[in-house]
Amino acid sequence: MRRALVWLALLLIVPPWSAAESGRTIRVVEQAGAPPLDPTDLAWTRAPATSVALYPQATAPGGPGGAVLPLEARALHGAGRLAVRLAWTDAHENSADPLATHRFADAVAVQFAPAGKTLPYVGMGEPGQPVQIWFWRAGQPAQRLAAQGFGSLARSPGAAPEMRARRTAGGWEVVLRSEADTRLGTAIAFAAWDGAEAGRAGRKRLSAWQALDIRGGPSPTALGAEAVSSGDPVRGARLYAEHGCVSCHAPDVGLGPSLVHAGGIHWPGYLRRAILEPAAFRVPGYASAMPALPLHMDEVEDLVAYLMSLH
């Protein structure tokens, strides 16, 4: 009852953070016929280019540090097929090499959330909330994969996505195309691996979930409660300090996942869940030491708002 009142209050006031205003939406443009595989095809200019920030994954030991990598995403839908065109900067070409045992190839992945009102954990989904993945590694055919949490990635039945990749002067342009599957759901996320920094597994950069705006699909507003945070980030910062969150979550402590990019990678819904039920989903490699804090709902919202301000 109390929780319902809080949600009601959330709906009545103008939220300071919302997915819609943050631009976390990929609009899929409809077209006659199948979308082109060629990344240079003029049809791609009809799809709006969304710049998606890829953040270094802080939870992987030895993962990349450094700056945010912008990835340009476009999506076209037609003749029962969905195609995604991704372009990003990568100074050095690293393709799979049959004469190398010590080098890693550049790669990119598109991840789809299952349909529903909540989003699974953005890093490989979670038990009971499987994510579908299209995976491309330079020099190899694309793969269709599925995962339900860390370490669970496996080949998924069905045809592998079609792909075409183009090496540009300073990066990659990759188109991945497959049947527009009803399982693709409400949101899409991206990840890129840089072979030059031995990128593989968790050594990657990843985006937050982006709402998928596709004709006939669920409305992006279906993610309403996931997408808004009505708290006060200043009060949240004070609570963060008072409850000593930093003693585990500071980047160099390693007791809990670093939260330096929390607002860039997560949605308010996940952060709210992580605070209220810390044991519900644990990032592997970290002790399940996080206590359920004695917070009022408005304090939780303040903390969420503060974490959403961290990029």
Point out which residues bind other proteins (CB under 8 A). 96-102, 140, 150-151, 153-154, 200-202
CB 66 within 8 A of CB 251: no
SS3 state at 167: strand
Taking the least distance from each CB to other proteins, the nearer of 8 and 99 is: 99
Taking the least distance from each CB to other proteins, the nearer of 137 and 272 is: 137
Smallest separation, CB 286 to other proteins (Å): 14
Q: Where are the alpha helices (DSSP H) in 17-82?
A: 19-22
Taking the least distance from each CB to other proteins, the nearer of 97 and 232 is: 97
Taking the least distance from each CB to other proteins, the nearer of 143 and 258 is: 143
Smallest separation, CB 297 to other proteins (Å): 36
Smallest separation, CB 263 to other proteins (Å): 26
Give CA–CA dist 295/285, Å, rounded: 26
* b/e sequence 158-189, b meaning 16+ C-beta within 10 Å: eebbbbbbeeeeebbbbbbbbebeeebbbbbb
Give the C-alpha distances (Å, rounded to integers) separating 243 from 161, 232, 233, 257.
Answer: 47, 16, 15, 16
CB 231 within 8 A of CB 298: yes
Give CA–CA dist 202/169, Å, rounded: 27
Show the tokens assigned to 84: 């995604």
Identity of the residue numbered 52: V
Smallest separation, CB 62 to other proteins (Å): 8
Taking the least distance from each CB to other proteins, the nearer of 8 and 154 is: 154
Q: What is the DSSP letter of 220?
A: G
Smallest separation, CB 202 to other proteins (Å): 7
Smallest separation, CB 141 to other proteins (Å): 11
Give CA–CA dist 239/108, Å, rounded: 37
Smallest separation, CB 126 to other proteins (Å): 16
Give kind and range of the element (H or E) at residue 228.
Answer: strand 228-229
Taking the least distance from each CB to other proteins, the nearer of 55 and 150 is: 150
Show the tokens assigned to 240: 């963060």
Taking the least distance from each CB to other proteins, the nearer of 33 and 285 is: 285
